[in-house]
Amino acid sequence: MSASPSDRRTRALALLERLESGAPERVAKNLDDFHSEAAEILLGFAFTDVVAREGIPLKTREMLTVAMLAAMGTAPGQLEFHMRAALNTGASHDEIVEIVLQVAVYAGIPAAMNAITTAKSAFTSR
């Protein structure tokens, strides 16, 4: 990777900043400490190539991300971040609650219970 940040990385970090102020610095440092190209590869794909697409509004994408991460039940840190990001992009507290209740139906009570714990933390950290 060249010494200057790539356009993909720059665009990904700009979108990440829209989701949560201060997040780009934390996330980029974590990934850069792992490998010099990790942010380019992971954030470039996720945020520049997919999340930034025009087909679905950002608020909706974040709500979908919350539902999927909650259903997975294996990524509490990312779930909390995306719950805050959903709130930051216009989703309401009540919409997050409804997503978690929907998760209970289709992914099970344990996944919903984990999501409830994460949601409570996301709600209080804002």
- pLDDT per position as a tens digit, 26-69: 999 999 999 999 999 999 999 999 999 999 999 999 999 999 99
Within its chain, how far is the Cα of 50 from the centroid?
Answer: 12
State residue 126's pLDDT score: 76
Degrees to nearest 5, angle at CA 80 with 74 and 85: 130
CA dist 91 and 51 (Å) reads 16
d(CA 11, CA 105): 36
pLDDT digits (tens, 9 = 90+) for 80-104: 999 999 999 999 999 999 999 999 9
Amino acid 94 reads D
Compute CA 22 distance to the chain's CA centroid, rounded to the nearest angstrom.
14
User: Where are the alpha helices (H) located in 20-108, listed in sequence order?
Assistant: 23-34, 38, 58-72, 76-88, 93-107
